[in-house]
Structure 1
Amino acid sequence: MVDIATRVWNHRWKIDPIVRSLIDTDFYKLLMCQSVFRNKRDTQVTFSLINRSKSVPLAKMIDEGELREQLDHVRSLSLSRGESTWLRGNMFYGKRQMFRPDFMEWFENLRLPPYTLERRGDQYELTFEGSWPEVMLWEIPALAILMELRGRAVLNSMGRFELEILYARAMTKIWEKITRLRDLDGLKIADFGTRRRHSFLWQDWCVQAMIEGLGNRFTGTSNCLIAMRRDLEAVGTNAHELPMVYSALAPDDAALKRAPYDVLADWHEEHSGNLRMILPDTYGTKGFLEGAPDWLAGWTGIRIDSGDPAEGAETAINWWISRGEDPKEKLVIFSDGLDVEKIEQLHAQFSGRVKVSFGWGTLLTNDFRGLAAGDALSPFSLVCKAVSANGHPTVKLSDNPEKAMGPAEEIARYKRVFGVGEQERRAVIV
């Protein structure tokens, strides 16, 4: 096992680049990328970095030259032969050759497109423009780079023994969480922590701890590189990006209202089984389910990613019942801002009523709260989202208005089209 404190102390980034591979990314990005490559490859998009935690002055903490060096390194990466072989030949969700030959040929020749980086006060403005399949693969590396460089800025001021103690305390903290989770009968939990991790080495350590501590209750990791190296299941399905871009391309209100279902119709053609998971909250869960076609009720389950998670699960259960489906046969994946207490609560509330699973993210792979002076290593809310498609702005409403994004006039239009009324505001931790 890697001595992380020593590696940080002896740090040389050419040995430990923040992003080591094009598959040092979330599995759902590759699944979505293949779908986009098939259905919308000529769409031109812009992705932009959005720091929701304005109290974290990234541009004051992170040297611009170092940031550019890390971003440029990502642009130099391409698939290795071993990575290509793994993607082409491995079994994912019970299916061999998940990735089609035409997509793999394109991916094997890919280099990520250029970026634009400017400083705006205490923050960085980082944008990526180009064809959708290429630009979308910048999201996870960009977030991982900014998160880790912020962590390194804090760690650089620490001495050798301070680093040893910091990581020993962090390891103890994670292990205590894992031992609590052992008490949950029938637990199924995966690592969803790539995008806002403390570092690659730390995420890999957390995954190893989950393997040893939870055994087969640990169902896999969203990180493709770690899944390959640790012989784990790569897990993940799709994200808000798809309906956001499809909706931006809609020519009128009627097409806009259909767009979230058009996304899943395309997905339905490609995937079956546990890959048929609904993410309903992009424009409000309640309205999405009320207007959903009957064939969606037959899908495997739902991922709850914003708003009150218990309320979201209850809404899904009632919807399945109304469509003649048995909720006990359905899977609910909770994935928003989870930590042990919330996992325990949701497991107790919904076990036996539905099949329950958890995607544990930032508070698994980046929980250094209380371990550095002034909470300087506490996680913060950083996202990289599609902000336009073919020149039209994208919008996300979410079940939590604190996560809404897009121009005010377009947010108002989307609320009207999707029938979104008053929403409860919830603090966004990560």
Structure 2
Amino acid sequence: MDIATRVYNHKWKIDPIVRSLIDTDFYKLLMCQSVFHNKPDTTVTFSLINRSTQVPLADLIDEGELREQLDHIRSLSLSRGESTWLRGNTFYGKRQMFQSDFMEWFEQLRLPPYFLERKGDQYELTFEGSWPEVMLWEIPALAVLMELRGRAVLNDMGRFELQVLYARAMTRLWEKIDRLRDIDGLGIADFGTRRRHSFLWQDWCVQAMMEGLGDKFTGTSNCKIAMRREVEAIGTNAHELPMVYSALAETDEELAQAPYDVLSDWHRDHDGNLRIILPDTYGTQGFLDHAPDWLAGWTGVRIDSGDPAKGAEIAIDWWKSRGEDPMTKRVIFSDGLDVDKIVELHEQFKGRTNSSFGWGTLLTNDFRGLVPGDRLAPFSLVCKAVSANGRPTVKLSDNPEKAMGPASEIERYKRVFGVGDQERIEVVV
């Protein structure tokens, strides 16, 4: 595909930013099924949060065009082929991962309304309603904002300028792949949907990884691309689950138990490589110190904030303290990765545990330095659950730069979960 020409001749009805309800991350669908079965009546509000306030989204993106893309997403429903793929495909070695009652609901789904308002040079974009419905807005909303910002920059570029831009970006990615291809024992997946440059670019990146890395490339988080390219759909669960469960807790005792209740519910539906712990929502060390014994038998952990090497060391020590062999476990690194860090972490932990990597924004959106003013550089944009049944959600993370929630609730959560001083690490993406 000649992406530069496609961009130059762009008509959005040919290339809508989000073209399917399964143009989303696999973990969203897994979590959605869990919520559908366990907390279907919870009312949740999601909100867009631009951590990179120096990027004035409302000045760059036309509100009418943004509404048009969001309205298009609300018109989408599962196609017959997509439904057949979800119902009949084998995921993580398990056929019929998605149960009939969930699929019948999903096949009838249209995403609920959104609220959009300009506030200064930013947009306030929120979604409120039933948790299983509203949660499916997160990934497409982020993809729309990221790509519209990119299109605003690309719109002023000529045909040949675009061809050179994409040639440089392709060369950059291929050089990264070339550095990874000879690493023994490497396992790496595409985790780049939410902050990708565009759907077409993410699709190209996946194809490049397939050709360049062979069986070292383990799959993509994007369901639509996994279906199209016949690769594994990759993903487990995210911070959203413990954040909402915790907001629903009535007492400090229930709050302390909430993150484990999430995994207890998950445990009933999933086994094997889907039993991956995400321990950092309220601090990795405290979470593992107080974890029930049955969690030590899970397959691995995902490290998504703080110093990744420190997080992995904490997990290895915890497994040893619970009588588990770290070499039978998996550590998935997924926070702000690029090639140098991937190589460093792989070398540091080989022979000590099984490491793998979820490569996100700097795989699917690394256009740094390729246009004047660095106007295509990736930035930190998130869409998070900010309340549940009217109560605020809180995330502490292993990096206080990623903390979110009212200050008083953050202090309460730090007290309940025993979180002390934390090292601040700059959030790039």
Q: TM-score range by the shorter chain?
A: over 0.9
Output the CA distance in 2 between the equivalents of 1:210 and 1:402. Answer: 31
Task: State the SS of the aligned residue for 2:23.
Answer: coil
What does 1:13-412 align with in structure 2 at a 5 Å threshold? 13-412=12-411
Q: Alignment RMSD, CA only? A: 0.3
Output the CA distance in 1 between the equivalents of 2:351 and 2:64. Answer: 53
Output the CA distance in 1 between the equivalents of 2:211 and 2:371. Answer: 27
Deviation per CA, 1:402-428: give whole Å up to 9, x if none: 000000000000000000000000000
**Structure 1 residue 183: deviation in Å?**
2.2
Deviation per CA, 1:265-306: give whole Å up to 9, x if none: 000000000000000000000000000000000000000000
Output the CA distance in 2 between the equivalents of 1:351 and 1:242. Answer: 31
Output the CA distance in 2 between the equivalents of 1:419 and 1:121. Answer: 38
Task: State the SS of the aligned residue for 2:218.
Answer: strand
Output the CA distance in 1 between the equivalents of 2:95 and 2:216. Answer: 24
**Structure 1 residue 203: deviation in Å?**
0.1
Task: State the SS of the aligned residue for 2:401.
Answer: helix
Aligned residue type for 1:102: D
Task: State the SS of the aligned residue for 1:33.
Answer: helix
Output the CA distance in 2 between the equivalents of 1:300 and 1:84. Answer: 29
Aligned residue type for 1:252: T
**Structure 1 residue 12: deviation in Å?**
0.2
Alignment pair present for 1:12 and 2:11: yes
**Structure 1 residue 351: deviation in Å?**
1.0
Aligned residue type for 2:423: E
Aligned residue type for 1:45: V
**Structure 1 residue 182: deviation in Å?**
1.0
**Structure 1 residue 184: deviation in Å?**
1.0
Deviation per CA, 1:320-342: give whole Å up to 9, x if none: 00000000000000000000000
Aligned residue type for 2:346: H
Aligned residue type for 2:278: L
Deviation per CA, 1:25-52: give whole Å up to 9, x if none: 0000000000000000000000000000
**Structure 1 residue 205: deviation in Å?**
0.2
Output the CA distance in 2 between the equivalents of 1:413 and 1:121. Answer: 32
Deviation per CA, 1:72-120: give whole Å up to 9, x if none: 0000000000000000000000000000000000000000000000000
Task: State the SS of the aligned residue for 1:416.
Answer: helix
Output the CA distance in 1 between the equivalents of 2:426 and 2:56. Answer: 20
Output the CA distance in 2 between the equivalents of 1:351 and 1:103. Answer: 40
Task: State the SS of the aligned residue for 2:189.
Answer: strand
Output the CA distance in 2 between the equivalents of 1:319 and 1:101. Answer: 38
Aligned residue type for 1:172: T
State the aligned residue count.
429
Task: State the SS of the aligned residue for 2:383.
Answer: strand
Output the CA distance in 1 between the equivalents of 2:250 and 2:350. Answer: 43
Deviation per CA, 1:367-417: give whole Å up to 9, x if none: 000101111000000000000000000000000000000000000000000
Task: State the SS of the aligned residue for 1:139.
Answer: helix
Output the CA distance in 2 between the equivalents of 1:60 and 1:411. Answer: 32
Output the CA distance in 1 between the equivalents of 2:351 and 2:27. Answer: 28
Task: State the SS of the aligned residue for 1:302.
Answer: strand
Output the CA distance in 2 between the equivalents of 1:352 and 1:382. Answer: 36
Aligned residue type for 1:339: D
Aligned residue type for 1:64: E
Output the CA distance in 1 between the equivalents of 2:350 and 2:183. Answer: 10
Aligned residue type for 2:294: W
Task: State the SS of the aligned residue for 2:323.
Answer: coil
Task: State the SS of the aligned residue for 2:324.
Answer: coil
Output the CA distance in 2 between the equivalents of 1:52 and 1:244. Answer: 19
Deviation per CA, 1:236-278: give whole Å up to 9, x if none: 0000000000000000100000000000000000000000000
Q: Normalised by the size of structure 1, how large is the TM-score?
A: 1.00
The percentage of aligned residue pairs carrying the same residue is 83
Aligned residue type for 2:90: M
Output the CA distance in 2 between the equivalents of 1:299 and 1:155. Answer: 46
**Structure 1 residue 171: deviation in Å?**
0.1
Output the CA distance in 2 between the equivalents of 1:133 and 1:297. Answer: 29
Task: State the SS of the aligned residue for 1:387.
Answer: strand
